[in-house]
Amino acid sequence: MKINVFTLKAGANQGTVELDETIFGLEPRKDILHRMVTYQMAKRQQGTHKTKERGEVTGSTKKFVRQKGSGGARHGNRKAPQFVGGGKAHGPRVRSHAIALPKKVRSLALKHALSAKYSASELIVVDHVDMGEAKTKALLGYFANLGLDNALIVDSEVNENFKMSARNIPNVDVLPVAGANVYDILNRDKLVLTRAALEGLEARLK
């Protein structure tokens, strides 16, 4: 499997590079991708939601009405959930929403995400994305040469000037190869890999 390599500035063809079929040549499985995205979204949830229960709210614990003869229910204190200002019954508690997913499935999901981009012709390989100075206008011109308006750019180590140039461009994300993940790959129309990122991903997934 071969794919063309382009330059960022001119969009010129710089030859081809060989892709590993075990990483980019798989038949994408939606079920594995769905499991991985669900895993990532659950892990991202903060889980800091909390309401006070009847043991935590401020209120009288005195029996405020006699047991019989009032014509009402037999209440013991004002902190019961049915009263205004009372505690919440079975309210949310601080917890982790993370779910378990085997490491092999997570690794396979990343391979399927990369294969999905390649099979849909949404994978672009560039020589490098280094920039001498942080210029957003210049970077927009480079993206126009490659036809990019919604993309994830992955490099081995993100160039600081490139990162600064791209941070104000909508629908463009920049990640180091160590941070490449299924959700961010599928969330953008195009996946742009540098030669170094390609080598890094293949070393990581082999």
Domain containing 70: what range? Answer: 51-91
Calculated CA dihedral for residues 143, 145, 146, 149, nearest 10 degrees: 40
* Dihedrals phi, psi of 152, to nearest 5 degrees: -115, 125
Number of domains in the chain: 2
Same domain, 105 and 138: yes
Out of 33, 67, 91, pick the residue that ends a domain. 91
pLDDT tens, residue by residue, 70-108:
898 988 889 999 999 999 999 999 999 999 999 999 999
- The identity of residue 163, as a single letter, is K
How high is the pLDDT of residue 12? Answer: 83
CATH number of the domain that residue 129 is part of: 3.40.1370.10
Same domain, 84 and 23: no
pLDDT tens, residue by residue, 131-142:
989 999 999 999
Q: Are 205 and 104 in contact (CB under 8 A)?
A: no
Same domain, 197 and 117: yes
Same domain, 109 and 136: yes
- Percent of the chain that is helix, strand, coil (3-state, to 5): 35, 15, 50
Q: Are 156 and 126 in contact (CB under 8 A)?
A: no
Q: Which pTM value belongs to this model? A: 0.85
pLDDT interval class at 183 (50, 70, 90): very high
Tokens representing residue 155 in the block: 């490099």
Same domain, 55 and 113: no
